[in-house]
Chain A
Amino acid sequence: ETGVTQSPTHLIKTRGQQVTLRCSSQSGHNTVSWYQQALGQGPQFIFQYYREEENGRGNFPPRFSGLQFPNYSSELNVNALELDDSALYLCASRPASQETQYFGPGTRLLVL
């Protein structure tokens, strides 16, 4: 167990809707990253938050946004869902002083 939890485990949405995915990290893990893992692919970096501010973003459009809270929880929000957004979304956290990330089990999103 990594101490990182995510909710919900599975989610079905329709195209154009909005979705919020949640992650809860271990105490002291003040850096959180979100990844998208499409079927048959490796995880792709969406963005990273440190002390409640975004400090890095991958090649994802602005309709992917996030929040990080002081209690080591975070959210990934996706607006105007598209079919290609169907994927496993992973949250990973770490203390800022360490380089090793710890992954949650993921939320599997299906967009119809």
Chain B
Amino acid sequence: AQSVSQHNHHVILSEAASLELGCNYSYGGTVNLFWYVQYPGQHLQLLLKYFSGDPLVKGIKGFEAEFIKSKFSFNLRKPSVQWSDTAEYFCAVKALSSGSARQLTFGSGTQLTVLP
């Protein structure tokens, strides 16, 4: 079964600082990769996704992520964070092996706090 590790449980940054959140997964086959964000009191929203092709994907609100297959990583980045980026961020993996229900496996999340 696949698993997902998010190394940073809580990250605190000042506005305009650069952000990188780590995500590693364990699964040897083909995967789809996702980053979701959960703003306080709101539902999970899709930030970006990787299915195939260019390993650098761009999402909403200036976020991007890079898939590095050799490292089983899918790190999330943003050059300059804003106070409104304060939220919890979840990395998720979907294994595409035959016979699987293709469920999402989530990491434990990273709480990002941006100080004004």
Partners in one complex: yes
Which stretch (A63-71, A79-87, A99-107) binds chain B? A99-107
Bound form: Cα–Cα A90–B44 in Å: 9
A-B contact pairs, 22 of them (CB 8 A): A35-B104, A35-B106, A42-B90, A42-B106, A42-B107, A42-B108, A42-B109, A44-B106, A45-B101, A56-B100, A56-B102, A56-B103, A58-B103, A90-B43, A90-B44, A92-B104, A99-B51, A99-B94, A99-B102, A101-B104, A102-B46, A106-B43
Q: Does A97 contact B (CB under 8 A)?
A: no
Interface string of B85-98 (1 = CB under 8 A from A): 00000101010000
> Which of B46, B105, B109 lies in contact with A45, CB distance below 8 A?
B105
Per-position contact with B for A34-76: 1 when CB-CB < 8 Å, else 0?
0100001111110010000001111000000000000000000
A31 to chain B, nearest CB (A): 9
Bound-state CA distance A33–B106 (Å) is: 14
A2 at the A/B interface (Cβ < 8 Å)?
A: yes
Given contacts A40-B109, A44-B106, 5 further A-B contacts (CB under 8 A): A33-B103, A43-B90, A48-B102, A48-B103, A100-B49
**Distance between Cα atoms of A6 and B94 in the complex (Å):** 24
**Is the Cβ of B104 less than 8 Å from the Cβ of A41?**
no
Number of residues of chain B lying within 8 A (CB) of chain A: 25
Contact residue among A35, A41, A45 (Cβ-Cβ distance under 8 Å from B108): A41
Distance in angstroms from B101 CB to nearest chain A CB is: 2
Using a CB–CB cutoff of 8 Å, the interface residues on chain A facing chain B are 2, 4, 33, 35, 40-45, 48, 55-58, 90, 92, 99-106
Q: Is the CB of A104 within 8 A of B100?
A: no
A90–B6 alpha-carbon span in the complex (Å): 21
Determine how close the nearest CB of chain A comes to the CB of B21; give it in whole angstroms.
Answer: 13
Q: Determine the residue in chain A with the shortest Cβ distance to B1.
A: A59
Q: Which residue of chain A has its CB nearest to the CB of B100?
A: A56
Q: Are the CB atoms of B101 and A56 closer together than 8 Å? A: yes
